[in-house]
Amino acid sequence: MSFSPSDLLLRIPALLVAITFHEYAHARMAYAWGDPTAKYQGRLTLNPLAHLDPLGLLMLLIVRFGWAKPVPINPLNFRDQRKGLFWVSFAGPGMNLLLGFISTFIYYSFPGFGPFVKVLLYNFIIYNVFLAVFNIIPLPPLDGSKILASLLPNRYLYHYRAIEPYGPFLLIILLVFGLLPVFLLPISYFIMNLFEKLVILLMLY
């Protein structure tokens, strides 16, 4: 893993944008569903400093596994708790997928960019797609767990809630034993290839 100034210059902007827009999307969607908690705590902003966790950012740079400060929400404020929880939880990964697609579109639509800009754009694609796929994992405290919880019937939700305290521990096990890439990489590259094909189709028309 290279930590040269040029390498960091290409990676840090992609990381900051991916993380910041991810958390901002959570905060904006929560506010749209009637919960002002994130706004009152200064999280309804595109200022990266409001969302960064220093240790989480360092881990992302070193091992591409890290975290930001979770956006605080209160589902009791949502007009509809289940629907609100679903859309607020999906907003973060959804934003990253949107940014990944936009970055793919720019990458292939403007072939005249130099190598520096090309690598920067590719990092935007990679970090946004990987962050989206990682957060969809249905293990607490990731967004996927809340998405699943919003969809499960009550009779199954109780049992699913029982594993919440073990979610971070299970994620660490998956990371330590190298199991996360087993499904993260195929899904991420599938999405990246899909974006590429969609952009090529758009360019043909």
CA distance 81 to 99: 27
For 117-141, give the secondary structure using H, E and C. Answer: HHHHHHHHHHHHHHHHHHHCCCCCC
Q: Which of 5, 12, 14, 1 is nearest to 121 (CA)?
A: 14
Q: What is the pTM of this model?
A: 0.91
Which one of the listed residues 22, 23, 51, 143 is annotated catalytic? 23
Do 18 and 128 touch, CB atoms closer than 8 A?
A: yes
Using left for φ > 0, alpha for ψ between -120 and 50, and beta otherwise, residue 46 falls in alpha
Cα separation, 64 vs 56, whole angstroms: 10
Nearest to 60 by CA among 138, 131, 120: 131
Active site (annotated) includes residue 196: no
User: pLDDT (tens digit, 0 to 9) for every residue of the chain, 205 residues total?
Assistant: 455 666 777 888 998 999 999 999 999 999 999 999 999 999 999 999 999 888 877 776 666 666 788 999 999 999 999 999 999 999 999 999 999 999 999 999 988 888 889 999 999 999 999 999 999 999 888 999 999 999 998 888 888 888 888 888 888 888 778 888 888 999 999 999 999 999 999 988 7
